[in-house]
Structure 1
Amino acid sequence: MTTSDPVPEISPEQLPEAIHTYLAAHQARDIDTAVQHYTDDATVIDEGRTYQGPDQIRDWLQRSAGEYTYTITLTGAQKVDNEHYIATHHLEGNFPGGVVDLRFRFTLRDRSISRLAIEP
């Protein structure tokens, strides 16, 4: 696949188990379950900041869970290849702007999340 090829859409149910379960835990604000789906050396990039390893990821999840009140709806999914997936979410809440569509770009390794980049 070249960079100009479109990324194929998949049903959200076709996302790998680690992503599907992580997203459910993230939405439920079940931080312990969410963190379990990351590798020990995982990286999360959100709002221009990088979080490395389970302790920093846990802190990021706790902070983001309490910072704003919002609803999140999974609106689409794409499979780039066997290790890379995109889950698109629509958020509405009391954060600046109030509405945003975000792409959660996942990289998997050994059936766990090794990288997550969240971007508009």
Structure 2
Amino acid sequence: MSILLPQPIAAYFAADSAERASVAACFSETATVKDEGKIHAGRAAIHRWKTEASSQYTYVSEPFAMAQDEDRTIVTSRVTGNFPGSPVDLRYAFTVNGDKIARLEITL
């Protein structure tokens, strides 16, 4: 099933599937990402987070559902790869400001 994602979120998933190092460009300079209990603040920290995660595991993320929760867009994606517990459905809670992502929280 294909879903129509808002442009900044679609750009995030496209970058994550092609050139993971470019994921940070989808975020504002002061954005934050919360993943695995850790907060990565600022575009440079987000770049380090994605670079480190991508060097550890190979994976594919396939968004299949989307919902609104106040100011957040919640995207559920099936993530399959060479990590413990694969495959897993993850919830990506995006807060978008203009054409950039201001906040992302990834949870089970």
Instruction: Give the TM-score of the pair, scaled to structure 1.
Output: 0.81
Matched, 1:105 2:81: no
Amino acid at match of 1:90: R
- What is the number of residues matched between the two proteins? 107
SS in 2 for 1:40: strand
Q: Over the residues paired in the alignment, what is the CA RMSD in angstroms?
A: 1.5
Deviation per CA, 1:74-116: give whole Å up to 9, x if none: 11111234x4101111112221112211000000112310100
Pair 1:52-2:33 in alignment: no
Partner of 1:40: 29
CA–CA distance in 2 between the matches of 1:76 and 1:27? 17
Is the CA contact 1:29–1:65 (under 8 Å) kept in the aligned structure 2? no
Give the % identical residues.
35
Q: For residue 5 of structure 1, what is the aligned residue in structure 2?
A: none
Q: In 2, Cα distance between the equivalents of 1:38 and 1:78?
A: 20
Paired residue secondary structure (1:12):
coil
SS of 1:36 mapped into structure 2: helix
What stretches of structure 1 of length at least 5 have no aligned partner?
Answer: 1-10
Check conservation: 2:27, 2:43, Cα contact below 8 A. yes
Of 11, 32, 57, the residue aligned with 1:21 is 11
Q: Check conservation: 1:89, 1:102, Cα contact below 8 A.
A: yes
Unaligned runs of 5+ in 2: none
**Is 2:77 aligned against 1:86?**
no
**Residue pair 2:30, 2:43 contacting (<8 A) in 1 also:** yes
